[in-house]
């Protein structure tokens, strides 16, 4: 048997190299897996590959993934989110810099309905950014609020990345979903506060808007417009908190709520449903292919002794727990600037799991921090995919402005993570209440 670090190094270098060529993630994993199995076990090992992929692909908890995707597709394709945007616009009120507050508020709520950073970034870039520019708001800060708000979507439930992490790290998916609520809301408040402080220090960032009278009747109508979406959010996360439904069951009720909402606003059609189901099936199949490949890669690492060897190495290092936490978070933050975030996440999770066994980190707390860290890659130059989605939706914006706009919110998110390290209750409070 080879020394454990040799197959580990070869496998990781091969994966990173394949991802950097632009190869689809699941094909990169499959290429490394097939080569590794043939090298280590011979043709007889391919039966194990098939069995592993079948066992992973038929895991009941993974049924949550297509349902969450379907919920987001129904809400976005039906156009119901326009009602949501109009209602929040009315409720935000009149203040200096209100468009920044509106941008972050909308992104937070849209993230709680779709879980897709790219979808939120594209929609906001298409609908709200031109309005902010037309009103004279600072372009870079406007872009930054959209990027920062979009980054919250994978953190706030429903979160597909949380489901993937829970599956691979063997952590309660319900706890991870609940654990994302506090950090998502905390970061949203932090973003709003930072924008208002900047506007206070430099009023030119947010020109005075023409006063618009908003009556009590208007506010009641806006609250009524939010009610269906509030019910959907309750169906997705509230039922889990109450212990009434599993994540898969709550996702299914959320889909029903999305269909009812579309019908309520007279935006339901067979064509819309067909397109939503087709797109959800396509995206879910790709994600499931990636997952089964990643699990097989983890099992291959265990077979080579890499997992056990890495655990023994970390045990002998005697590194302070906080230093280790810093290193574990620094690695994905740097690598996500150059490598696909999902692919990197699937590489790191099987390596991190045995290390967590050595240190006394709360698994929910650690993996939520890891999730936030990974999502930063979506808005970090030069390869953040949300930045490219925003550019596609708003071609009038220069790419260099998007790059410059992102750093303020990357810094704010890192500051928020530091606060969560010092005050872990922000992450663990809700999961602890409903375990």
The pLDDT tens digits of the residues spanning 255-271 come to 898 899 888 888 888 99
Backbone φ, ψ for residue 217 (5° rounding): -65, -40
pLDDT band at 212 (very low <50, low <70, confident <90, very high): low
Average pLDDT, the chain: 84
Most confident of 27-31, 165-169, 419-423: 419-423
**Is the pLDDT score of 372 beyond 90?**
yes
The reported pLDDT for the residue numbered 414 is 96
Residues in the chain: 435
Hey, how many other C-beta atoms are within 10 angstroms of the C-beta on 51? 11
Q: How much is the average pLDDT of 116-137?
A: 84
Q: How much is the average pLDDT of 241-259?
A: 85
The reported pLDDT for the residue numbered 303 is 75
Annotate 368-399 with three-state secondary structure.
Answer: HHHHHHHHHHHHCCCCCHHHHHHHHHCCCCCH
Which residues contact residue 347 at a Cβ distance below 8 angstroms, ignoring those fewer than 6 apart? 12, 15, 16, 297
**Is the pLDDT score of 45 beyond 80?**
no
Per the model's pLDDT, the better-predicted residue between 212 and 228 turns out to be 228
Backbone φ, ψ for residue 41 (5° rounding): -120, -20
Per the model's pLDDT, the better-predicted residue between 55 and 191 turns out to be 191
Residue 96 near residue 199 (C-beta atoms within 8 A): yes
Identify the residue whose tokens are 């508020």. 105
The reported pLDDT for the residue numbered 301 is 73
Residue 374 near residue 332 (C-beta atoms within 8 A): yes
pTM for this predicted structure: 0.82
Q: Rounded to whole angstroms, how far apart are CA atoms 133 and 138? A: 7
**Which of 301-310, 345-354, 366-375 shows the lowest per-residue confidence on average (mean pLDDT)?**
301-310
The reported pLDDT for the residue numbered 306 is 72
């Amino acid at each position: 048997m080879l020394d454990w670090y040799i197959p580990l190094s070869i496998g990781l270098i091969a994966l990173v190299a394949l991802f950097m060529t632009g190869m689809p993630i699941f094909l990169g994993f499959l290429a490394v897996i097939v080569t590794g199995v043939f090298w280590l076990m011979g043709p007889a090992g391919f039966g194990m590959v098939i069995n592993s992929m079948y066992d992973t692909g038929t895991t009941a908890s993974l049924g949550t993934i297509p349902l969450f995707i379907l919920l987001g597709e129904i809400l976005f394709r039906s156009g119901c989110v326009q009602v949501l945007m109009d209602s929040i616009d009315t409720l935000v009120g009149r203040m200096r810099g209100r468009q920044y507050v509106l941008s972050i508020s909308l992104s937070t709520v849209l993230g709680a309905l779709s879980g897709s950073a790219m979808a939120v970034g594209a929609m906001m870039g298409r609908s709200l950014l031109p309005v902010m520019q037309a009103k004279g708001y600072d372009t870079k800060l406007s872009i930054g609020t959209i990027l920062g708000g979009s980054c919250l979507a994978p953190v706030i439930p429903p979160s597909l990345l949380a489901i993937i992490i829970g599956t691979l790290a063997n952590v309660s998916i319900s706890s991870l979903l609940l654990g994302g609520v506090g950090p998502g809301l905390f970061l949203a408040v932090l973003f709003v506060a930072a924008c208002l402080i900047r506007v206070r220090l430099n009023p030119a960032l947010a020109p005075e808007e023409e006063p618009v009278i908003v009556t009590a009747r208007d506010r009641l109508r806006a609250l009524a417009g939010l009610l269906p979406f509030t019910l959907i959010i309750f169906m997705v996360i509230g039922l889990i908190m109450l212990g009434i439904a599993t994540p898969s069951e709550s996702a299914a009720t959320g889909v029903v709520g999305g269909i009812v909402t579309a019908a309520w606003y007279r935006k339901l059609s067979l064509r819309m449903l067909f397109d939503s189901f087709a797109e959800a099936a396509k995206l879910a199949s790709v994600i499931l292919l990636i997952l089964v490949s990643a699990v097989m890669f983890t099992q291959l690492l265990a077979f080579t002794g890499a997992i056990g060897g890495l655990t023994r190495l970390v045990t002998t290092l005697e590194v302070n727990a906080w230093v280790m936490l810093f290193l574990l978070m620094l690695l994905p933050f740097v690598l996500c600037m150059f490598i696909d975030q999902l692919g990197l996440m699937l590489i790191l999770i099987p390596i991190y799991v045995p290390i967590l066994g050595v240190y006394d980190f709360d698994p929910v707390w650690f993996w939520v921090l890891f999730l936030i860290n990974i999502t930063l890659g979506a808005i970090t130059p030069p390869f953040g995919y949300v930045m490219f989605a925003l550019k596609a939706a708003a071609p009038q914006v220069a790419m260099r402005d998007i790059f410059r706009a992102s750093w303020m919110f990357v810094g704010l998110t890192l500051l928020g993570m530091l606060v969560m390290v010092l005050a872990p209750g922000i992450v663990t409070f809700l999961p602890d209440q409903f375990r």
